[in-house]
Structure 1
Amino acid sequence: MSFFKKNSLHNYHVNESDQQLTNDINKNIHTIREYLCQTEDLIVKDMMFNNKDCTILFLDSMVKKDFLQSSVIGPILEMKSGEIQNVVKATELKCSSKISEVGASLLEGFCTILLENDAIAKSVAVGEISARTIEEPVNERSIISSHDGFVENLGTNILLLRRRIKSPQLKVKFFTLGKLTNTKVSMVFIENLANKKILEEVERRITSIEVDQLLSIGEVEDYIEDNPYTPFPQMLSTERPDRAASYLTEGKIILLVDGSPRILILPITFFAFYQSPDDYNSRWLVGSFFRFIRFFSFIIAISLPAIYIAIVSFHSEVLPIGILYSIRVSLEYVPFHPLIEAFTMQIILELLKEASIRLPTPIAQTIGIVGGLVIGTAVVEANLVSNTMIVVIGLTAIASFIAPVNEMGTSARLLGFPVMIAASLFGFFGIVLALMVLVIHLCKLESFGMPYFAPFAPFNIADIKDTFVRLPFWKLNTRPTDSKPVYKKQQWHTRGWKKK
């Protein structure tokens, strides 16, 4: 039964889209009402213009009423005759003879003007624009970079990009997805820089999406990513306009969804997830140091609990006798295998993190203190977990939180579980085997046909200058080749003053 309901819903819109306006104004009003399912927030205001019946239709919740009065209703009442296009004060006016187009305009915040003996409707933009103020993203804070962030309004987000890239080559292409939601999706790129084949592939994947609803950027990511079963994100999600603009100038593509403050950058590489805007606002030595720390934290987040399990279970001889003695003492009364200890503490850590996110800020801070001090101390005193394991899990958690992009930090914690299992079975050999499989997977992974582990697979020595370290800007004279930009050179005589 649900199958037939779904089909009937789709067929309803198909049939309505074929209907045309007529010269009978009352019939047109009735048809528009039927198209909008007799919704009670459709306001119909009757007037006279050119000695003919004139009707203005709008959705009460979608328009800015004072703007509607000053730009449409007031001028019509004052002029009473003339061409409607010359009378109303509109920044955007659309003419249409299709019922579906008129209905879509009403749903976008337009008001529609119908005239007697006229089969053409005039739709005027009088939408209510209410958006969150521009502020720094909470989950991507920066110390010395810009402090603005994307919001839920698509137009505002495009404005933030155009403020930074004042080029006529910056192109925006719109799509409408979702048969019920009619969500506007935009693809932003630099026309003469982005690779044409990648643009065509992205557009092909977007246009292939056929769904009833699309409400967030995460849904778009799921529909178009290359490999949905990998723990690694294949598109970079960010709320920072400065980061988005920098990737645009490298030839990459950006996807925005109306109603979502997050945007997607593609194609992307693994190393981009550990680059921060602060790296480019500090001296190159400082930026390189912190970038190296982030990459080292990724290795710690994946392998530190596994190394502890392997040492305790198989390779205790690698430790000095003093450290080994303290570990053995802490494990003497613990009844569980180190793997069970690590799994339990990792799960408790995730529970505390989720609880702190969902609860109000004052309570979340209390939960953090209770979880870190009270529960940690209690489980050690109860001989359920060793002191050393608490230290190891704490360092692992800190290392995973260092990642500038939250998705990659979560992926690192997730990957720690299979590595711990391998360590509990085979010791150091299991860790090496698990990391080999991980590196092979990264080398095979692609983002829109581009290598995910570039510039190491395939190896490109020219692109290494902005991966583990960040060389001075005057050394970054070529764009990264992972997105195959049309023009690779981006700098010429940046330090010409030295020749003088």
Structure 2
Amino acid sequence: MSFFKSIFSNNRYGNHKSKKNTLKGEKKPFKSLEDNIRYIKEAVYNTDDLKEREVDFCNRKAILLYMEPMCSHQKLYDYLIDPIQRTIKEDLEEVILSPELEIAEDLNHAIFKLLDGSCVILLEREKRIYIANVPNTDKRGIEEPDNERVVRGPHYGYVEDLSTNLRLLRKQIQNPNLVIRYYKLGKITRNKIAVAYMHNLANPELVDKVDQRLRSISSDTILSPGFLQEYIEDHPFSPFPQVLNTERPDRTMAALMEGKVAIFSEADPTALIVPVTLFTFYQTPDDYHSRWIVGSFVRLIRLSAFLISFILPAAYIAIVSYHPEVLPVDLAYNIQGTLQNIPFPPLLEALLMELTVELIREAGIRLPSPVGQTIGIVGGLVIGDAVVHAGYVSYTMVLVVAVTAISSFLVPSNDMSTSIRVLRFPLMFVASVFGAIGILFGVMFLLIHLAKLDSFGTPYMAPAMPFRLRDMKDTFVRLPIWKFNERPQEAHPQILRQEWNSREWENNEEQH
């Protein structure tokens, strides 16, 4: 009978019942040192990486408990073991050299600090618990982010260590108004999250909204800022991102100085910026490190690439299928000649090439860097030439797909680039059925959708919809920096006017 019970039991390991450990609430220390040690060990299920070290402290037994992978052995010896063994003082708080020392009377709190890289010190005949922070700080060096490279400006970015990222931000903004708030998210993993904002600039309603959404997250784990993004964004079913991802401290600083809020996560080199608009994703640090004419020209090219990557394949399908009369006669005959021996309709022809480009792009990302670059170049040349000679795709379609792919690479944000690539396919289907009318309705539907979107209360199409002329100075083009005498109103900052007049020297020269 027990055999059938084990088969039909919901527990995959039969009737074995494991002890549930929630560590909720406060747990006062026991009078006995051995009972405290036993409670901590049972709370972590006697894991093998929990180490115990006994040290003599003024004829009293002191027990050091620490997680071996999380603690620095050198700091453990220099800050704790050596001073405790050598001291003649009877106050342990004066002996420990760790810059972060905490005294608690809660065993559950001590266990969580233990898992965070701290060492728990238990003393004989004392109910107080000493918690010294001695974390292992192994991390990669600071370098420029691969996906946000610039020609001019700082060439360093965030790393996977939260304290390092906040230090980089503090170096950019040496102002007492910069406020950092910490959170612990994830019921099981307890990931450390940091929120940064300027106290004198950020709108209190925006800060409260971010705080409310973060505290309302109920999840076992938060693997990355991508999880946070889906939990806090206003319209999760929209293809357009409503949170900006960046790995650059200078870009984060610029956002905070506009009254926005940045969200960081431990073990991830990414900062989330809120609120954002559509035009935020087409702005790069290079726009401001170069002169305003050059920056405006490049930004216009970038915005034009948005339209090209979204509309060009659909426009080609509509023209070839329904509206060849819009082309010059010679060009129409030339395109018609290349399509005579193609066995597929323009839609299947475009889908074949677009999917091939997506496969090559994905393969280049997953493979090691040297091999990925090779597969991107060689794969594009070989496959493009092969499908044309085989008669499956015309030369014109290869050109259209190539221009579309290059245009999608001009988008500075990978999230926005992916959204445009996804939206391109339904527009191609609509164009193949309804022609130019289908494209027109597709673009109108997209504009209506964008007009309805918002990010933390900020209209997604601001300052174009609703129209604000004063904020247009840094939208389609970038006017000179000294023209930015007011902050953008998209984040509703507390202080709207900038506190400087950088070309006062002109008035002084005129007076002389």
**TM class, shorter-chain normalised?**
over 0.9
Q: Which residue of 2 is the match for residue 135 of structure 1?
A: 143
Q: Which residue of 1 is the match for residue 395 of structure 2?
A: 387
Contact 2:357 2:380 in 1 (8 A): no
Task: Give runs of aligned pairs for residues 62-77 of structure 1, distance below 5 A.
Answer: 62-77=70-85
Matched, 1:252 2:260: yes
Contact 2:23 2:108 in 1 (8 A): no
Tell me, what secondary structure is at the counterpart of 2:318?
helix
Percent identity of paired positions between Structure 1 and Structure 2:
44
Q: CA deviation at 1:265?
A: 0.2
Contact 2:101 2:132 in 1 (8 A): yes
| Equivalent position to 2:69, from 57, 61, 67 | 61
Matched, 1:90 2:98: yes
Task: Give runs of aligned pairs for residues 287-302 of structure 1, distance below 5 A.
Answer: 287-302=295-310
Matched, 1:147 2:158: no
Q: CA deviation at 1:207?
A: 0.4
Q: CA deviation at 1:110?
A: 1.0
Q: CA deviation at 1:134?
A: 0.5
Q: CA deviation at 1:50?
A: 2.6
Tell me, what secondary structure is at the counterpart of 1:13?
coil
Bigger mean CA offset, 80-89 vs 253-262: 80-89
Contact 1:56 1:112 in 2 (8 A): yes
Matched, 1:102 2:110: yes
State the one-letter code of the partner of 2:143.
E
Q: CA deviation at 1:482?
A: 0.6
Contact 1:32 1:103 in 2 (8 A): yes
Matched, 1:24 2:32: yes
Q: Which residue of 2 is the match for residue 348 of structure 1?
A: 356
Q: Which residue of 1 is the match for residue 6 of structure 2?
A: none
- Residues of 2 paired with 1:486 and 1:458: CA distance? 20
Matched, 1:498 2:506: yes
Contact 1:48 1:80 in 2 (8 A): no
Q: Which residue of 1 is the match for residue 3 of structure 2?
A: none
- Residues of 2 paired with 1:237 and 1:489: CA distance? 27
Q: Which residue of 2 is the match for residue 13 of structure 1?
A: 22
Contact 2:26 2:109 in 1 (8 A): no
| Equivalent position to 2:323, from 312, 315, 336 | 315
- Residues of 2 paired with 1:463 and 1:430: CA distance? 33
Deviations 1:286-317 (A, max 9, x none): 00000000000000000001111111011101
Matched, 1:124 2:132: yes
Q: Which residue of 2 is the match for residue 487 of structure 1?
A: 495
| Equivalent position to 1:436, from 425, 428, 444 | 444
Shift in CA distance, 115/484, structure 1 to aligned 2, threshold 3 Å: same
TM superposition outliers: structure 1 runs of 4+ over 4 Å: 8-11
Q: Which residue of 2 is the match for residue 401 of structure 1?
A: 409
Deviations 1:6-53 (A, max 9, x none): xx99963145x4322122111111111111111111111112213222
Tell me, what secondary structure is at the counterpart of 1:408?
helix
Matched, 1:286 2:294: yes
Matched, 1:457 2:465: yes
Contact 2:243 2:276 in 1 (8 A): yes
Q: Which residue of 1 is the match for residue 280 of structure 2?
A: 272
State the one-letter code of the partner of 1:206.
L
Shift in CA distance, 171/234, structure 1 to aligned 2, threshold 3 Å: same
- Residues of 2 paired with 1:9 and 1:423: CA distance? 59
| Equivalent position to 1:414, from 401, 410, 422 | 422
State the one-letter code of the partner of 1:343.
L
- Residues of 1 paired with 2:277 and 2:89: CA distance? 61
Shift in CA distance, 420/9, structure 1 to aligned 2, threshold 3 Å: farther
Deviations 1:340-361 (A, max 9, x none): 1111111111110000111112
Q: CA deviation at 1:229?
A: 1.0
Unaligned 5+ segments in structure 2 are 1-9
| Equivalent position to 2:271, from 259, 263, 269 | 263
Deviations 1:201-254 (A, max 9, x none): 111110011111112010000111111111110000011111111000000000
- Residues of 1 paired with 2:18 and 2:271: CA distance? 31
Bigger mean CA offset, 479-488 vs 62-71: 62-71
Contact 1:238 1:262 in 2 (8 A): yes
- Residues of 2 paired with 1:209 and 1:162: CA distance? 28
Q: Which residue of 2 is the match for residue 447 of structure 1?
A: 455
Q: CA deviation at 1:417?
A: 1.0
- CA RMSD of superposed structures (Å): 1.6
Q: What TM-score, normalized by structure 1, do the two folds share?
A: 0.97
Q: CA deviation at 1:491?
A: 3.9
Deviations 1:428-462 (A, max 9, x none): 11111111111111111010121111001111111
Shift in CA distance, 319/205, structure 1 to aligned 2, threshold 3 Å: same
Corresponding residue pairs, total: 496
Bigger mean CA offset, 465-474 vs 39-48: 39-48
Unaligned 5+ segments in structure 1 are none
Matched, 1:243 2:258: no
- Residues of 1 paired with 2:373 and 2:455: CA distance? 38
Q: CA deviation at 1:80?
A: 4.2
- Residues of 1 paired with 2:500 and 2:137: CA distance? 43
Contact 1:216 1:260 in 2 (8 A): yes
Tell me, what secondary structure is at the counterpart of 1:440?
helix
- Residues of 1 paired with 2:280 and 2:400: CA distance? 27
Tell me, what secondary structure is at the counterpart of 1:185?
strand
Tell me, what secondary structure is at the counterpart of 1:140?
coil
Q: Which residue of 2 is the match for residue 306 of structure 1?
A: 314
State the one-letter code of the partner of 1:493.
N
Contact 2:100 2:133 in 1 (8 A): yes
- Residues of 2 paired with 1:447 and 1:257: CA distance? 20
Task: Give runs of aligned pairs for residues 207-226 of structure 1, distance below 5 A.
Answer: 207-226=215-234
Shift in CA distance, 27/14, structure 1 to aligned 2, threshold 3 Å: closer
